[in-house]
Structure 1
Amino acid sequence: MNINICRETLETGLFTQLPDLMDPEFVFHPIVHVHTGHLFGVEAWFSGFTGDNFEIRTDLFDTAREKGLRHQVDLFLQQRILTRFLPFRKENRFRLFLRLDHRICLSPDYHLGSILSMIEHSGLVPADICFVLRVDPDVIMDEQVIHILDRYRSQGFRIALSGYDIRSQGIQLLDRTAPDYMILHRDLYRDFRENAKTRQILSFMITYSHLMGCRVIAGEVQTEAEFIQCRELGCDLIQGDVIQPPGHGLDTIKSCYDTIRQIIRRDRRNHDDKHRSLTAGEITHLEPISFDCTVVHVFDQFRTNPDTSFFPVIDPNGDPLGIIRETAFKQYIFSKFGRQLLENPSFGKDISRFVARIPVADVHASLETLIEIYTRFNNNEGLIMVDNLKYVGVLSTNSLLKLINEKNLTQARDQNPLTQLPGNNLIHEYLSSSLSDEQADYHLIYFDFNNFKAFNDRYGFRSGDRVILMFAELLKKTAFSENRFVGHVGGDDFFMGIRNSTYETVADQMVSLAREFKKNVESFYDFDTVKKGFLLAMDREGKKRNLPLMTVSVAILELTAGDKKGLTVEDMANMLAGLKKKAKRSDAGIASTRALNRQKSG
């Protein structure tokens, strides 16, 4: 559709009212891969006409609404976007994200095939286009809109739901529309570190999306800290000012953003290179089937590959859409006239009816993430693996079980045999990673029981082990988020690391923990000893004394992002040892300091 057709269609003079038919202006905003910084797509939307004002735009759309011509106006604007986009895309094959107003689908002039004809005439394929539908909590999704989205998908277009937040019908719409992409609202992750409930909801939404084969885009990401948070939670793509603000030109958009690579290099704390290399070695490349192939071709693939139970399905850009299982064709494969039935024109050539979604995971994802996705979905085929969202292979169920076994063996070697908490090797790795993490503050905490030897001498080592296990459970309860690490040094010595929290919050929690331990440990003594409040036992110098009941000393070392230069793991271990002695001498049982203060005083 060109300008002249639009003029003829809009006989009301909708466009002729605009001086010299002002050129429409558009905003373009890049969407990039969260692990590599490579450009994945560009979102584009109409922002106005050259030199226009708000009244002109309002008049245009009000008139279109009154005359029932919303779809014609939308097609005109989409064609202009394509005119701008096509020269850019000739050199870079990226997806174009176009905003879709659900009201246009309900306009009297709406025609489902119009956009398909325009896209094909431009030289693109439907898989190059993704329609972005905004999630509005006040809008009840019309069945006609759902039907139109299904038709778009059957034609090969992609669908994205935008503006997810806690208040929206997010999960319901995810089920009803089965989108290819979910774009998160910034309100979800802007303050999720301080809000455990929000974090749990966000983590669930991302995991649920991956289970459905839907990729997650973190929208409106403003800061490096927000980017790291979204990456940690499993987002696949990113969009926002941290990469590049929206702009009116495509000439500033890059094919790869070094900004992302630099952030990832600085954020070294979550490296899991060993497990990732093991994962890469277990990925099997099954030859995929193209979405635009015929049903007969799929049938022949199963006939000629009798040992293959499923085939991955990809679009023309190499993005996985799901799988086709052999069971979907079973009745045709074993039927005498199965092929003839599939060749019948009335059956149709569209293979979408046979495509089933299974979870998709990135090759850069941690083994923990892969295991979580698989165990939640619990399918027989495993996971489709992607790199830059392009299909690379399948991680089978057997391969996943092998990786889980390898991980369990590794953990068993590095865990304390009594508490099953990480041992000294992993504690050392955590201390080392806290020093290399230049963007975050840490609180490093050392715990040591008071008068534990006297208790062991009186009640025996088994009772002592039960006390240790009780404290380990208290620590696990306190380590309620991914930003917390708990380890067992040995005996009655424990370690905890907390990332990005305030000293006041940490100190309050440690006081509560020490108070709870003091209360719980009384149940391990006999009634008379608890009543007296002390235990007659030998002290460390071999003298009989009335020793208080067990308590725990807490040493807190505050390590801020600016305090790490020149520090080593040994420095921190020595500081914690000194703080532990100070805590044992204090009435409160807690001692703390900043690493920089100790470094300067040393």
Structure 2
Amino acid sequence: MDYNYTISEYWLSCISQLDFAFQPIVNIHSGVCYGCEALLRNYEAAGFSSISAFFDQAFRDEMLYPVDLALREKAIRKFSELSWNRQIRLFLNLDNRLLNSSNYRSGNTLNLLKTYGLVQDTVCFELSERQKLDDVQEAIRILNVYRSQGFKIAVDDCGTGFSGLQVLYYTRPDFIKIDRFFIQDIENDPDKRLVVGSIVNIAHLMGSLVVAEGIETKQEYYGCRTIGCDLIQGYFVQFPETDISRLKTRYEQICKLSSIDQRDKNAEDKKLISTEMTCIEAISCRCEIFEAFKFFRQKKDQNFFPVVNDNEEPLGIISEKSFKEYAYSRYGTALLQNPAFGKSITRFISKYPIADIHTPVEKILEIYSRNENIEGILIVEDMKYKGFLSAHSLLKVLNEKNIAVARDQNPLTRLPGNTLIHEYVSQALQDTQNQYVLVYFDFDNFKPYNDTYGFRHGDRVILLFADMLRARTQYANRFAGHIGGDDFFMGIHGTTLEKVCSDVAKTAEEFRKNAESFYDPEAIRKGYILSKDRDGSDKAFPLLTVSAVIMELPALRSSVASVEEISRILAKYKKSAKQSAEKLHVIRFGSKENDAEPETGDSCLPDFLLPEERLHIQTYIN
């Protein structure tokens, strides 16, 4: 293709050796492929040590824009060969120095898309925060030109670069991509969760979607999903592929993880939202201005309409007040029909907050409450417009949910009660393909404490432990429940038994230390209190601790036990846990058919537990 730029033989040779690998960007709830990022490959064969070195040399040779444009064509041509390319977007990295390039000309990318039969909103340009913008205002002007042509804008490497919130403020990007640094080990790092959560909140308030980059583990997936990210990208989904035939329209492993997340009660939220939302007719972004104007005249009770693109993705809304100056002007109608005024409705589209239909209703309320002068939220599923949730409907959904939740909660701790615990265990037992760990907690010496200090102080101890469990189960692969009294339950899936045992041991130790504060100084000094035992005799009771029975349900189990059977086993070994020095008893639910009685012995110990640790562990043979 003729770019009207001269590219030297050297750079043409370099470009000919390069290739692009595509890495999918998928919906975090459904696994549906939303787009692919084009990643440069084979730069070593062209004689460069890194991608950065390649572009730095092109910049020094004053060839950055022509070279980038040639690579852009290469990526678009390869993308056009994908049979289902109209269903997804192509994310192209944009070297920030291009935005201040003297030989930049608009319209070249549009011409490329036309050549290969693609529409303009196919492409999303990624602007990196890692590179400093020399002239921010000029860069913003060029980005606005891209947006006016129908291209999408993403801010890449969010949180790591030079411009930070300034770029977000000026560009109001369609996508914000969170750097891998903040995603790695997010499930164990509260500071990273705070940063990512803040970025997600800002993005959603601006009407932007959030892409979590570099997802490599199931735990990172759950962490990002719980915080509210919309899309994910990384090795956990698929490695970058130079062979585009290996790309998929849907990634079933993501869909499955979402569906087996039994702690997630968003399915109930989805039902409530679906019932209450209104399906306001959407206007196509290809609709001409005067046709859009007639929509308001025909439907006088409607003061806005959602605007969607060819893939039914909402771009924002077009409101009646946008046309007010034309509607009441003497020549307003004639002006709207004048070709010189322009036919596109782009200038009238306002960005509007959106939420996925799987989003918890509390999060939707938060998005709504932080936006002024809006009447509700646009609801999407798989990024496609589904309907509109008004403020009135949102409050109704929240009220109905609160009533349902209160019915199934423990009245003291507000943790899920026995009904929800039973549901969780039942679903975990039926999901024989995946590993789960069930933990049963029971306080030690709670009755004598209650008898000595009273029920009010006993409730404070119960609330302390409930808060500790709540803090440790805030992610979607963990569930906490209150059985009643001083008995608690925790369920985890996708985490190793070793990690769970370590977490439970830390929880028990933290509870032991915190529980001391509920005693008087004399009891703390002695390390015990005097109270009546079950026979009515005076006895010295140690200070409060907590014991735990831990049962692993391995992946690929060959049989399904009943909830009652599991409950019986957990209760049976409560005494063993209380008698052990570590206050833990670990059970592995086996897959071999044998007697219903458990086998005991050090031969059943996992590799990470040594016999001298005196941690009780058994394998339950089913």
TM-score, scaled relative to structure 1: 0.84
Residue of structure 2 in register with 1:152 after alignment: 146
Distance change (3 Å), C-alpha of 1:304 and 1:364? same
Residue of structure 2 in register with 1:504 after alignment: 502
* Counterparts of residues 543-582 of structure 1 (less than 5 Å): 543-546=536-539, 548=541, 551-559=544-552, 561=554, 566=559, 567-582=561-576
3-state DSSP class of the match of 2:9?
A: coil
Residue of structure 1 in register with 2:445 after alignment: 450
Residue of structure 2 in register with 1:464 after alignment: 455
* Counterparts of residues 272-421 of structure 1 (less than 5 Å): 272-335=266-329, 337-340=331-334, 342-343=336-337, 348-377=342-371, 380-421=374-415
Instruction: State the Cα distance separating 1:309 from its structure 2 match.
Output: 2.5
Instruction: State the Cα distance separating 1:516 from its structure 2 match.
Output: 1.8
Amino acid at match of 1:251: S
Match of 2:211 among 211, 217, 222: 217
The superposition leaves residues 76-103 of structure 1 with CA deviations (integer Å, 9 ceiling, x where unpaired) of 2222333333343577543222221111
Residue of structure 2 in register with 1:476 after alignment: 467
Distance change (3 Å), C-alpha of 1:265 and 1:380? closer
Does residue 600 of structure 1 match 2:620?
yes
Instruction: State the Cα distance separating 1:115 from its structure 2 match.
Output: 2.4
* Counterparts of residues 25-44 of structure 1 (less than 5 Å): 25-44=19-38
Question: Matches of 2:5 and 2:9 in 1, distance apart?
Answer: 10
Amino acid at match of 1:196: P
* Counterparts of residues 77-156 of structure 1 (less than 5 Å): 77-89=71-83, 92-136=86-130, 142-156=136-150
3-state DSSP class of the match of 1:193?
A: helix
Instruction: State the Cα distance separating 1:321 from its structure 2 match.
Output: 1.2
Residue of structure 2 in register with 1:197 after alignment: 191
The superposition leaves residues 497-556 of structure 1 with CA deviations (integer Å, 9 ceiling, x where unpaired) of 566444233213212213322321449xxx9x9999887765433x34255486344224
3-state DSSP class of the match of 2:245?
A: coil
Amino acid at match of 1:395: L
Instruction: State the Cα distance separating 1:165 from its structure 2 match.
Output: 4.3
Identity among equivalent positions (%) equals 33
Question: Matches of 1:281 and 1:569 in 2, distance apart?
Answer: 33
The superposition leaves residues 547-597 of structure 1 with CA deviations (integer Å, 9 ceiling, x where unpaired) of 5486344224253645976554334423442344345556x6934323444
The superposition leaves residues 330-377 of structure 1 with CA deviations (integer Å, 9 ceiling, x where unpaired) of 444445554345456675555444333232222333445444444454
Amino acid at match of 1:467: G
* Counterparts of residues 262-281 of structure 1 (less than 5 Å): 262-264=256-258, 267-270=261-264, 272-281=266-275
Residue of structure 1 in register with 2:583 after alignment: 590
3-state DSSP class of the match of 2:505?
A: helix
Instruction: State the Cα distance separating 1:219 from its structure 2 match.
Output: 2.7
Instruction: State the Cα distance separating 1:59 from its structure 2 match.
Output: 10
3-state DSSP class of the match of 2:620?
A: helix
Distance change (3 Å), C-alpha of 1:549 and 1:99? closer
* Counterparts of residues 205-244 of structure 1 (less than 5 Å): 205-244=199-238
Does residue 164 of structure 1 match 2:184?
no
Q: Is the 8 A contact 1:70 1:104 kept in 2?
A: yes
Using the TM superposition, name which of 200-209 and 167-176 deviates more.
167-176
3-state DSSP class of the match of 2:547?
A: strand
The superposition leaves residues 31-53 of structure 1 with CA deviations (integer Å, 9 ceiling, x where unpaired) of 33333333322322443589643
Question: Matches of 1:581 and 1:69 in 2, distance apart?
Answer: 75
Instruction: State the Cα distance separating 1:109 from its structure 2 match.
Output: 0.9
Using the TM superposition, name which of 117-126 and 285-294 deviates more.
117-126
Using the TM superposition, name which of 441-450 and 396-405 deviates more.
441-450
3-state DSSP class of the match of 2:247?
A: coil
Q: Is the 8 A contact 1:386 1:393 kept in 2?
A: yes
TM-score, scaled relative to structure 2: 0.81
Q: Is the 8 A contact 1:446 1:576 kept in 2?
A: no
Distance change (3 Å), C-alpha of 1:31 and 1:593? closer
Instruction: State the Cα distance separating 1:324 from its structure 2 match.
Output: 2.4
Distance change (3 Å), C-alpha of 1:76 and 1:206? same
Does residue 514 of structure 1 match 2:512?
yes
Distance change (3 Å), C-alpha of 1:548 and 1:122? closer
Question: Matches of 1:367 and 1:21 in 2, distance apart?
Answer: 50
5+ long unaligned stretches in structure 2:
590-616
Question: Matches of 1:100 and 1:437 in 2, distance apart?
Answer: 46
Question: Matches of 1:472 and 1:452 in 2, distance apart?
Answer: 16
Q: Is the 8 A contact 2:318 2:348 kept in 1?
A: yes
Instruction: State the Cα distance separating 1:27 from its structure 2 match.
Output: 2.5
Amino acid at match of 1:511: E
Distance change (3 Å), C-alpha of 1:85 and 1:127? same
Amino acid at match of 2:391: T
Q: Is the 8 A contact 2:282 2:307 kept in 1?
A: yes
Amino acid at match of 2:513: R
Distance change (3 Å), C-alpha of 1:34 and 1:113? same
Instruction: State the Cα distance separating 1:424 from its structure 2 match.
Output: 1.4
Amino acid at match of 1:135: E
Q: Is the 8 A contact 1:88 1:250 kept in 2?
A: yes
Question: Matches of 2:10 and 2:341 in 1, distance apart?
Answer: 48
Using the TM superposition, name which of 159-168 and 13-22 deviates more.
13-22
Question: Matches of 1:61 and 1:451 in 2, distance apart?
Answer: 67
Amino acid at match of 1:471: I
Does residue 9 of structure 1 match 2:5?
yes
Instruction: State the Cα distance separating 1:195 from its structure 2 match.
Output: 0.9
Amino acid at match of 1:157: F
5+ long unaligned stretches in structure 1:
none
Question: Matches of 2:163 and 2:435 in 1, distance apart?
Answer: 35
Residue of structure 2 in register with 1:487 after alignment: 481
Q: What RMSD in Å do the two structures reach over aligned CA positions?
A: 3.8
Question: Matches of 1:203 and 1:423 in 2, distance apart?
Answer: 28
3-state DSSP class of the match of 2:59?
A: helix
Q: Is the 8 A contact 1:207 1:373 kept in 2?
A: yes
* Counterparts of residues 428-447 of structure 1 (less than 5 Å): 428-435=422-429, 436=431, 439=434, 442=437, 444-447=439-442
Q: Is the 8 A contact 1:268 1:437 kept in 2?
A: no
3-state DSSP class of the match of 2:82?
A: helix
3-state DSSP class of the match of 1:9?
A: coil
